[in-house]
Structure 1
């Protein structure tokens, strides 16, 4: 019995041993897994861990540091991405694989075989790269398109193109030492120290032409007239530069290019940029940099120490030549709006409400984008940045208190929610408060029409009517429709715009705030382009097209936000704002064109009793005839004591007349 027990125990031990051996054996990695793991580390750029996976007897590189540097040199120089391997075969512990490497010049694909023993890789040089030999290196050649694409208006008028400029520079060997630096610096609006620094560069020989400043043809002629060429060593050569024919008129939307800097070269490494390249800095020039510049072609070669090609690894042909960008802008309308407001702090938007095409987008005061291309002196740069009128600011990007411009939107929400009966007389009140809990706070109005119905409230812009209506609508319905109108969302547009808002974050919502929101005060802030887009719903049966400034992008943005019945009522009331002799927009009335519009004067002050605050003037005007679709919205800062929104109405006449005359022609 004891022997039997011993026999059973012995058999059990053997079984356990076999199971253990089997378990341990199955814990080992397959050769395929080892190779796959190696290339996973390559994807992660963990070169040190890759080195640890190699059989040390097969590694020809003397140190781990050398190994890591080689991999970095090859894979980071070519901007390797999406590295993938496909195992093809395994025989006698040798794995055959196919590797794919996406690079800046296309895809590198090659086969290789590698031995695996005891979970270690038997190193061979082609693990690094196809055709690798001692002392070889990577050579990248890129070919840049010669000319940048143009930016055009909707009628083909040039807003930006490559043109001719003039480089004023010095030839060191022909200068009278540094004796003339003072006079040259004065001519070129720089300083002697800058000239000395440029002329002391190590690459300069006696016969080298050292460019100091690029100037326009007019400036070149002026310098010649001042006899700058009479100074020994001064030369002027013709160069290609980006030119902007409409300059300040369209600079905020077109933007400008500048020479790349060290940060650009680092950010756009291996994209074909070099020290003489230009890059879009703002506006359309920046937003459409790739299309305007085109995609560079290039190739990657493996070369020896004498730059002789050992193997071409990949070659990418040009996939996209520089493209012209055609905008929806009508530059004549843009020019007319700019002329009207160039001395104001303003933003103007004109769009086709039937398509969402932006016909004009103006910010004043403006700046010269040509100055940025030619190079700004320190004094000019400081003057621009310190100007209290902020000419560099794109005002169409900002958000503003909309004032009475918000009333038609409140009215539409009220009609949709049945909170407003358009025919009901609320009884006119010059000032009003919900109840005594408001203390000394009252909503006041300059216009309290009778009967106090919706049409009169819009026509004469009655604050009290819309404060009361907003409370009848209620916070939930009001905020629901604000969200439906995407007032808190990013506006889908080719150029960056600030998001509109209807309440500050974490703000307690009171009845007083809701009442103020009804007539466009409170905490509502609207972007001019978004406000214009919302108004387009009143001539589009309640739908809004997505605003866009590059042609070929027409699509609906918000569908059926208001019903046809609601938009018909609001449109007729907005027509009355213009038709009624006492309407706030009557000054722009036309005999032969039916116009609809709304004025708005927003108060910017610290409290109700504050008399030191300023005013914003708004005006939105639109045609109702589908043959001449246009909608224009303008906001002007600081209109207090200058006519309020009436100032904007007067200055909208000429641009509107110009556009209508062009369409009728």
Structure 2
């Protein structure tokens, strides 16, 4: 019995020691693991955790760069910046938003519009972002809030840069505007290489030059590394890199010419594009009516947006870039060139114009009979019959193939976004456009009206001006462009932007000169002779009248019986001086009637300004705005003196920016002679 008890006692002691040993090994293992973990944290990952610890007490704050200016070719400021105070709220730090805004309104004026805009911005922002409630606070308002700041956690005063458009609506469609970055733009930035450069940036170019030259205008974002308290308040600056302001963009645009044209239109609708045919520089790009760009700087309010967006005059539409119109008879010089190049016509080919032409049992009107008509006479007298027959002989696909290289029905590639394509029809285009079988078929009768710039033909004024510049430049075409140079914000260095060389179109010189000679005769003995009577320079041009609504062949056009928006459009294409052109243009005055009545007089004032520095007299300007002038009346003013009042930036020597300085005696001519055959009536298109 005693021996058995001794054995049990030894077994229990053995088990006890075994348990103690196991526990000791476990403790030792855990201690080793702890030591290993400490080694990893203290030695292996020391640098990483040290950086994280440093970040817990520092913050990197982006410094948004000052946006570059936009200048015209002479340094006149079109877009600039100014600094102002804003009252901003971070909603994550505010308990009751309505109560806070009501209390703030006792210190600072807050209008219902401010509240609506704030709500809209708040919906598009994150909770921790600071959202502006009021902009452009006065010094008195800033002082009143600063004295009561302790009452408003989450509310702060910040100094921000604001965009300003000094000329308001002048060249508005060209300059464009900036606005807050929306969700789509934010996603595009996140997928781009520029995402880091937009940290802290809230606005981006939305339209025009502001959008297309965003990279040059934006600048390089800087940063500040700040030491902060546990509550996130800055204590001191540890390091920084200043922001680099954006470069200024110098445009080819001449604001003097731009404003002149906009004033000439008055309340009328339309568009004009003027180009230097020697290099493709866009000298003016007018779209009327326009709108004040400053409305969009802080986000446009609903009332103004409704006025602009719902207006029957469509002021938001860039008519020069996106609006498409039938070109009317301004198309005839290009059809004539296509006829010569295709071999369907020769310079001396003569047809009989009896005032109408019948095809397939259908009679196409042509206005006044012109008798025997060759290419030159067809342009001078604007013969429809000549071009009805030419279009029929060429066919729709040949017309397309010869007119498309001139730039019709396709984007010109100008350096701003949003360009319209227009329509230069073909059998393939119709098959791809319409769904029903009977609509997709091309009928021979549809070809006839194409020859006079009607039918399916619809082009932008930029396309017509570009083709006109090509003709003026003896068949050499330049890509139109608005960007001329950049001016470094820091270096102040003027750097010309890359310009593609001109492209010879390969037309036979004798064909081009035959069309140019006829176009030049239009202002001497054709439909534009009255408008250009007495001009001390030569010019070439072609009037045009295009239907806004279809008028039946059996019906006679009567403007008085039509609503204003249904009346014919007035068009003109031209260049000057005729021998050595320095400016080419195309314009339309919507629903204004004959080309010689409304459009050509505007072109005359443009050439007088560009070549002679003549700015219309007050009485001439008043008559032009009403569409009641032909040749200039009164004593013209100096264009240079008229533009001296505008703020401008001194630019490096850019050469002669105005054609006036390079106008030689060989480009001037005696006043136009009267019509060589006054017995023949002047025929409108």
Query: How much has 1:505 moved relative to structure 2?
Result: 3.1
2:256 matched to 1:323?
no
Query: How much has 1:189 moved relative to structure 2?
Result: 5.3
Question: Is the contact made by 2:178 and 2:205 (CA closer than 8 Å) also made in structure 1?
Answer: yes
The match for 1:555 is: 500
Sort the Cα spacing of 1:267 and 1:539 in 2 relative to 1 into closer, same or farther, 3 A. Answer: closer
Sort the Cα spacing of 1:184 and 1:434 in 2 relative to 1 into closer, same or farther, 3 A. Answer: farther
Cα distance in 1 for residues equivalent to 2:176 and 2:499: 23
In structure 2, stretches of 5+ residues that fail to align are: 1-39, 150-154, 233-238, 432-439, 485-496, 614-658, 662-685
The match for 2:211 is: 286
Moved more, 244-253 or 605-614: 605-614
Question: Is the contact made by 2:171 and 2:286 (CA closer than 8 Å) also made in structure 1?
Answer: yes
2:81 matched to 1:162?
yes
Cα distance in 1 for residues equivalent to 2:108 and 2:552: 56
The match for 2:71 is: 152
Residues 49-90 of structure 1: CA distance to partner in whole angstroms, max 9, x if unpaired? Answer: xxxxxxxxxxxxxxxxxxxxxxxxxxxxxxxxxxxxxxxxxx
Q: Secondary structure at the match of 1:587?
A: coil
2:400 matched to 1:479?
yes
The match for 1:664 is: 660
The match for 2:628 is: none
Give the alignment partner of residue 596 of structure 1, picking from 516, 522, 540. 540
Residues 23-53 of structure 1: CA distance to partner in whole angstroms, max 9, x if unpaired? Answer: xxxxxxxxxxxxxxxxxxxxxxxxxxxxxxx
Sort the Cα spacing of 1:557 and 1:521 in 2 relative to 1 into closer, same or farther, 3 A. Answer: farther
Sort the Cα spacing of 1:306 and 1:591 in 2 relative to 1 into closer, same or farther, 3 A. Answer: closer
Cα distance in 1 for residues equivalent to 2:340 and 2:382: 17
Query: How much has 1:423 moved relative to structure 2?
Result: 2.7
The match for 1:115 is: none
2:649 matched to 1:649?
no
Sort the Cα spacing of 1:655 and 1:166 in 2 relative to 1 into closer, same or farther, 3 A. Answer: farther
Cα distance in 1 for residues equivalent to 2:367 and 2:330: 16
Give the alignment partner of residue 632 of structure 1, picking from 576, 580, 585. 585
The match for 2:679 is: none
The match for 2:415 is: 494
Normalising by the residue count of structure 1, what TM-score does the alignment of the two structures yield? Answer: 0.66
Sort the Cα spacing of 1:505 and 1:570 in 2 relative to 1 into closer, same or farther, 3 A. Answer: same
Give the alignment partner of residue 382 of structure 2, picking from 461, 477, 481. 461
Q: Secondary structure at the match of 1:190?
A: helix
The match for 1:4 is: none
The match for 1:510 is: 443
Query: How much has 1:513 moved relative to structure 2?
Result: 2.0
Sort the Cα spacing of 1:526 and 1:431 in 2 relative to 1 into closer, same or farther, 3 A. Answer: same
Normalising by the residue count of structure 2, what TM-score does the alignment of the two structures yield? Answer: 0.65
Cα distance in 2 for residues equivalent to 1:137 and 1:426: 91
Question: Is the contact made by 1:253 and 1:361 (CA closer than 8 Å) also made in structure 2?
Answer: yes
For 1:386-465, list aligned pairs within 5 A.
Answer: 386-397=310-321, 398-436=323-361, 441-465=362-386
Question: Is the contact made by 2:63 and 2:200 (CA closer than 8 Å) also made in structure 1?
Answer: no
Question: Is the contact made by 1:492 and 1:547 (CA closer than 8 Å) also made in structure 2?
Answer: yes
The match for 1:346 is: 270
Question: Is the contact made by 1:571 and 1:596 (CA closer than 8 Å) also made in structure 2?
Answer: yes
Residues 297-335 of structure 1: CA distance to partner in whole angstroms, max 9, x if unpaired? Answer: 6799xxxx999xxxxxxx999998521111110111011
Number of residue pairs the alignment of both structures matches? 509
Cα distance in 1 for residues equivalent to 2:480 and 2:177: 23
Query: How much has 1:338 moved relative to structure 2?
Result: 1.0
Sort the Cα spacing of 1:188 and 1:444 in 2 relative to 1 into closer, same or farther, 3 A. Answer: same
Query: How much has 1:659 moved relative to structure 2?
Result: 1.4
Question: Is the contact made by 2:468 and 2:586 (CA closer than 8 Å) also made in structure 1?
Answer: no
Query: How much has 1:646 moved relative to structure 2?
Result: 1.9
Cα distance in 2 for residues equivalent to 1:333 and 1:367: 18
Question: Is the contact made by 1:450 and 1:456 (CA closer than 8 Å) also made in structure 2?
Answer: no
Cα distance in 1 for residues equivalent to 2:99 and 2:319: 50
**Pairwise CA RMSD:** 4.5
The match for 1:77 is: none
Sort the Cα spacing of 1:298 and 1:653 in 2 relative to 1 into closer, same or farther, 3 A. Answer: same
Question: Is the contact made by 2:422 and 2:459 (CA closer than 8 Å) also made in structure 1?
Answer: yes
Query: How much has 1:428 moved relative to structure 2?
Result: 1.8
Query: How much has 1:427 moved relative to structure 2?
Result: 1.4
Cα distance in 2 for residues equivalent to 1:600 and 1:241: 44
Query: How much has 1:652 moved relative to structure 2?
Result: 2.7
Cα distance in 2 for residues equivalent to 1:459 and 1:444: 18
The match for 2:235 is: none
Query: How much has 1:263 moved relative to structure 2?
Result: 4.7
The match for 2:455 is: 522
Q: Secondary structure at the match of 2:462?
A: helix
Sort the Cα spacing of 1:553 and 1:470 in 2 relative to 1 into closer, same or farther, 3 A. Answer: farther
Cα distance in 1 for residues equivalent to 2:300 and 2:318: 19
Cα distance in 2 for residues equivalent to 1:318 and 1:236: 22
Structure having greater relative contact order (Cα 8 Å, sep ≥ 6):
2
The match for 2:637 is: none
Q: Secondary structure at the match of 1:451?
A: strand
For 1:602-613, list aligned pairs within 5 A.
Answer: 602-606=546-550, 608-609=552-553, 613=566
Moved more, 626-635 or 341-350: 626-635
